[in-house]
A and B are shown apart, each in its own frame.
Chain A
């Protein structure tokens, strides 16, 4: 019964924590420009994330240490430095975008410009991290994030043709704007498979003191959470395809998204969209800030835990304090949140090989994983993800130049 409760909570928090500034923006852009045709990118991203989270969770449950710890130990500080810098850099950009997402939601709700909200959001986030525990951050924010189910309700209210949505799950060539199509596919993959997610998940497994007894909890949480979470992102594509595409609306500014749910749900659609954007981006702000502090502290061998008093792990708490306020600066200076989001999603996709390739080595090392090394299915999936990540790395910059405008 206890295990069932853990699984249910894990799945619910994964669903509630799935949508964020990147997945909302890229889903809406994809739907408004290509209808259901980019549904496959959401599916591929969710399935890839499911495997990566399951493996990083399994690694932590078996070794009782985090993915970052294992990276440093297995590859040495020099081998760890490149993934460390890449994860920190791209996650920092994503963090700024998330703060921007909350700020835009508050701007749409109050009419007060988004720049004004950057520092108050950073302060509130810092306060939650300073005063709260890992459970507060992980479960509290994700539970509130369940408001994002409104995307599924709106999609159902618009009566889509489900067979057309299913057809979009199979990759097909676009009839127009090929560069833009692949650019959006890349952005969707970057939004789905952010390295901070599996670094955070792995750290969470250690915070929650997972052991090999939690392997089934890990498997079900990673699978169902990402499948249902990915389903919500897909509903974002569906709603945008039914609301924006027929009207000829292309998403160029985040503020246009305020009308996304209104034709389906009227005034509650506006309110729930703002709630979804604000809550999910705030929850992700907390997770990324923690994830950045986790990776740095684990990489450099500092004492770390969100469950310790800040005075007991002062370098860890100083890191998240500095990080969250620094990340607010681009928003304070008036950065275009949608452009920042798109660029950070593309760079996230480009950074994937640096964390995915070492995972192949770790998950097949019997000294590390004992009898829980990857099976054939796990390795096939991981190699496919690794190949995809290398392709994304190669095409990211050309696509940003050709399709980002």
Chain B
């Protein structure tokens, strides 16, 4: 069956409209994403520290989480953010310091 040319144009328009709608509804900026990621890793590292202390997870697992958290921190420090205001930058630096402190606690618990 021959598919009329107009059907493909309509399909193309639908794809573009959907993509446009999705672009419109994606709200998070780069600084927001980085801040979320740092805070999420700080929470992960804190849970891992408690888990190692309580004997729920082995220390070698704590060391793995520590290494991954440290690599996230390193990447965050290297990243150059576009559209970051002074307030964003200050919040990110604060989150980096908080993650670093949590990583130190996990290192002490897991024997890194």
Which residues in A have some Cβ–Cβ distance to B below 8 Å? 107-108, 110-111, 176-180, 182, 247-250, 252-253, 255-256, 258-259, 262-263, 266-267, 269-270, 394-395, 398-399, 401-403, 405
Q: Is the Cβ of B40 less than 8 Å from the Cβ of A108?
A: no
Q: A247 contacts which of B18, B33, B47, B58 (Cβ < 8 Å)?
A: B47
Q: Is the Cβ of A252 less than 8 Å from the Cβ of B40?
A: yes
Given contacts A249-B47, A250-B36, 5 further A-B contacts (CB under 8 A): A108-B61, A262-B56, A267-B55, A398-B18, A402-B23
Distance in Å: Cβ of A303 to nearest Cβ of chain B: 35
Q: Could you tell me how many residues of chain B have their Cβ less than 8 Å away from some Cβ of chain A?
A: 35
What is the bound-complex CA distance between A111 and B60, given in angstroms?
6
Q: Is the Cβ of A248 less than 8 Å from the Cβ of B61?
A: no
Q: Is the Cβ of B15 less than 8 Å from the Cβ of A394?
A: yes
Asked if B79 is at the interface of the complex by the 8 Å CB criterion, the answer is no
What is the bound-complex CA distance between A400 and B22, given in angstroms?
10
Q: A259 contacts which of B11, B28, B33, B44 (Cβ < 8 Å)?
A: B44
The 28 sampled A-B contact pairs (Cβ below 8 Å) are: A108-B64, A111-B60, A111-B63, A111-B64, A177-B27, A178-B25, A178-B27, A179-B25, A179-B26, A247-B43, A248-B39, A250-B36, A252-B40, A252-B72, A256-B65, A259-B44, A259-B47, A259-B51, A259-B57, A263-B47, A266-B54, A267-B57, A269-B56, A270-B51, A270-B58, A395-B18, A401-B19, A403-B22
Q: Which residues of A contact B33 (CB under 8 A)?
A: 405
What is the bound-complex CA distance between A180 and B56, given in angstroms?
32
Q: Which residues of A contact B63 (CB under 8 A)?
A: 111
**SS of B interface (majority):** helix
Q: Is the Cβ of B22 less than 8 Å from the Cβ of A179?
A: yes
Q: A249 contacts which of B19, B26, B27, B40 (Cβ < 8 Å)?
A: B40
Q: A258 contacts which of B27, B28, B41, B61 (Cβ < 8 Å)?
A: B61
**SS of A interface (majority):** helix
Q: Is the Cβ of B64 less than 8 Å from the Cβ of A394?
A: no
What is the bound-complex CA distance between A248 and B36, given in angstroms?
9
Q: A248 contacts which of B40, B48, B51, B56 (Cβ < 8 Å)?
A: B40
What 0/1 readout, one digit per residue, does chain B (24-36) give for beta carbons within 8 Å of chain A?
0111100001001
The closest CB in chain B to the CB of A270 belongs to B57
Asked if B37 is at the interface of the complex by the 8 Å CB criterion, the answer is yes
Q: Is the Cβ of A267 less than 8 Å from the Cβ of B56?
A: yes
Asked if B91 is at the interface of the complex by the 8 Å CB criterion, the answer is no
What is the bound-complex CA distance between A182 and B36, given in angstroms?
19
The closest CB in chain A to the CB of B25 belongs to A178
What is the bound-complex CA distance between A176 and B33, given in angstroms?
13
What is the bound-complex CA distance between A21 and B65, given in angstroms?
19
What is the bound-complex CA distance between A394 and B13, given in angstroms?
11
Q: Which residues of A contact B48 (CB under 8 A)?
A: 259
Q: Is the Cβ of B57 less than 8 Å from the Cβ of A399?
A: no
Distance in Å: Cβ of B13 to nearest Cβ of chain A: 11
What is the bound-complex CA distance between A182 and B48, given in angstroms?
30
What is the bound-complex CA distance between A176 and B28, given in angstroms?
9
Asked if B84 is at the interface of the complex by the 8 Å CB criterion, the answer is no
Chain B residues 46 to 81 lying within 8 A of chain A, measured CB to CB, are 46-48, 51, 54-58, 60-61, 63-65, 68, 72
What is the bound-complex CA distance between A247 and B45, given in angstroms?
11
The closest CB in chain A to the CB of B56 belongs to A262
Q: Which residues of B contact A398 (CB under 8 A)?
A: 15, 18-19, 22-23
What 0/1 readout, one digit per residue, does chain B (71-106) give for beta carbons within 8 Å of chain A?
010000000000000000000000000000000000
Asked if B14 is at the interface of the complex by the 8 Å CB criterion, the answer is yes
What is the bound-complex CA distance between A110 and B68, given in angstroms?
16
Q: B40 contacts which of A110, A250, A405 (Cβ < 8 Å)?
A: A250
Distance in Å: Cβ of B32 to nearest Cβ of chain A: 10
The closest CB in chain A to the CB of B33 belongs to A405
Known: A179-B22, A398-B18. Is A255-B65 also a contact (CB below 8 A)?
Answer: yes
What is the bound-complex CA distance between A274 and B29, given in angstroms?
35
Most buried by A among B14, B39, B57, B58: B57
